[in-house]
Chains A and B, each alone.
Chain A
Amino acid sequence: MASTTLRHTAWILRGNPLTGVAAAGVVLLILIAIFGPSIVPYDPIASNVSQALMPPSMAHLAGTDQLGRDNFSRLVVATRLDLVIAVSAVGISFVLGAVIGAFCGYAAGRLDRAVGRFVDVMMAFPLFVLAMAMVAALGNRVENIVIATAIINLPFYIRFARAEVNIRRNVGWVEAARASGESHISVVLRFLLPNVLPAMAVQMSLNLGWAILNAAGLSFIGLGVKPPTPEWGIMVAEGARFISTGKWWLVAFPGLALMLAVLCFNLLGDGMRDILDPRMRT
């Protein structure tokens, strides 16, 4: 069984080498997040006004900002914060969404229909606006960006887990588990959820990119992360003031970092979906 999965994975990778590249990119991002702060050439918050707003050069690979801080060092150090925000937000909504969705899907009935309808409507609502209001209400802190991003992601996971559990709630092995005296809670947690998790993991990878964009958007408009903390969204916001005088590097490099991170997670998610379910290929 394991060897066929491996062979299938290898076959997919040969047909779609991008997935391998994306996986390598994600590993690289994680390594940067862990070791980045200890290998950067400059202190990310030390200002040096004599070197302010210098374009990219050998000394400053990505130029310097209005306070003479090294843009490259700030970019590298920011990776950890951006990843931590996105991963913890998606992690929270993954766990909560899976459990809520699984119980609703298992229970079926009126409550399930109500939750389902509510979730459908929520998904189409301008979620960024809600996240904005939530961060402002809960307080302008990083933890609250995580909470807000987790909440607006929740509907996607609830809906997914609900649909996946719903089609399995009456299959043979579930009835067998029930017949052998397992409680409903145990059936959901020990039998149904493990079967749903792989598909949800794919969803999670696809979602991480979105979460990164959301968190960066919130800090771009001035919510959550505060200067001088290096974070990609706020770096773009600080660089925005200088774009109409041609200082492109302050916007382009953090933008590129955001884009590459999101691209890696999206491609990895697509590739994982191909491995898991070849029929879903588009």
Chain B
Amino acid sequence: MSSLPALFGVLVFTFLLMRVLPGDPAVFFASGPNAGKEEIEVIRKQMGLDKPVPEQLLLYLYDVGRGNLGRSLMTGQPVTTDLRDRLPASLELTLTALLIALVSAIPLGVLAALKPGSLIDHGVRLFCALGVCVPTFVSGLLLIYVFYYLLGLAPDPTGRIDVFTSLPPARTGFLTVDFLLAGDVDGWWAAFRQLILPAGTMALFVIAPLARITRASMLVSLGSDFVRTARSVGLSWWRIVVTYALRNAILPVITIAGIVFSTMLGANVLVEKVYSWPGVASYALDALLSSDYAPVQGFVLLMASIFVVVNLLVDVLYGVADPRVSI
């Protein structure tokens, strides 16, 4: 809950930022370069740009409070509709990436911690050091080169699904899930193939911090008294590592996973651009480049809200992992 004031701050901050944007959106969205002065004035009035900035801010906050994020001049639709249409694509991508990252980072970190100084430990450390150095847009493009151009394994890296594929009835908005619900295995495979490269790109970038923190906190918990005791009473190796050591080591991993998730929200912009993924980030980017205020503000607000929800979730998971912590 402590993040709510910050959320409000971000809201006001982006509003003010957008108001100092160069270029008059009224001119931009008038019928063309020949638009008369009166026409521009009318558009400016429609958009409320003729009022003083503080009044615009209050009006905006009032609208946001009622769930109205304004209208995108680019698509002509309310921003909330646009965001709702595109959010599932972004979420599907980000969550798949997080899943891939966790599933590969935690075992890597545990293995490295079990044998410090071994070949696998050095391998993991090298991978971590390199992983944070390669920009997501470069690794994404190189993955396209290898898997699409060289090996021909991946489909054309544009969008979520081939335009000629018939879409399943939208239930969750996650294409892979919808195809499964509709029982369409071929469709699921097509969507999955489109998804796996962008998700893998994003995961590559965040495996490093996750594996590193898993390794560090596993080292601490493996060296602790309770693990020594568990060993001395003859518990099985698996039980010691997974039930005792890993469970105690997981708290810092959860914290970092929360932070990682928010960097992934930012990395979405780059990955969605590389793969022409029709998500909220590419929508906001297009709007930004054509000085369309409302979608950008809506996008930043959406990111901030997701971020608050994720923080709450992290607190809840904390309580699950460590019963001593109460929310």
Contacts and interface: CB of A to CB of B under 8 A. Distances in A.
Given A133-B17, A136-B288, A138-B20, A255 B142 contact: yes
Nearest to B308: A121
A239 to B, nearest CB: 8
Given A128-B266, A221-B273, A266 B133 contact: yes
Nearest to A257: B138
Interface string A124-140: 11111110111011110
B149 A243 contact: yes
Interface in B260-313: 262-263, 265-267, 269-270, 273-274, 281, 284-285, 288-289, 291, 296, 299-300, 303-304, 307, 311
A221 B269 CA distance: 8
Contact of A246 (B137, B145, B303): B145
Interface residues of B: mostly helix, strand, loop or mixed? helix
B133 A262 contact: yes
Interface string B146-159: 00111000001100
A57 B2 CA distance: 58
Counting chain A CB atoms within 10 Å of each CB, the highest count among B141, B212, B269 belongs to B141
A222 B262 CA distance: 22
Interface string A205-242: 00001000100110011100000000001001101100
B157 A244 contact: yes
Given A236-B141, A243-B141, A252-B142, A129 B265 contact: yes
Interface residues of B, number: 57
A66 to B, nearest CB: 15
A126 B142 contact: no
B21 interface: yes
B303 A266 contact: no
B191 interface: no
Given A118-B9, A121-B2, A134-B17, A240 B135 contact: no
A263 interface: yes
B323 interface: no
Contacts of B6: 117-118, 121-122, 125
Interface string B1-13: 0110110011000
Given A240-B141, A266-B129, A136 B21 contact: yes
Nearest to A119: B6
Given A124-B258, A133-B14, A136-B288, A267 B138 contact: no
Interface of A: 117-118, 121-130, 132-134, 136-139, 209, 213, 216-217, 220-222, 233, 236-237, 239-240, 243-246, 248, 251-252, 254-255, 258-260, 262-263, 266-267, 282
17 contacts: A124-B262, A125-B10, A125-B303, A125-B304, A126-B265, A126-B266, A129-B265, A133-B18, A133-B296, A217-B137, A243-B141, A243-B149, A244-B156, A248-B145, A258-B133, A260-B133, A262-B133
Interface of B: 2-3, 5-6, 9-10, 14, 17-18, 20-22, 129-130, 132-139, 141-142, 144-145, 148-150, 156-157, 212, 216, 258-259, 262-263, 265-267, 269-270, 273-274, 281, 284-285, 288-289, 291, 296, 299-300, 303-304, 307, 311
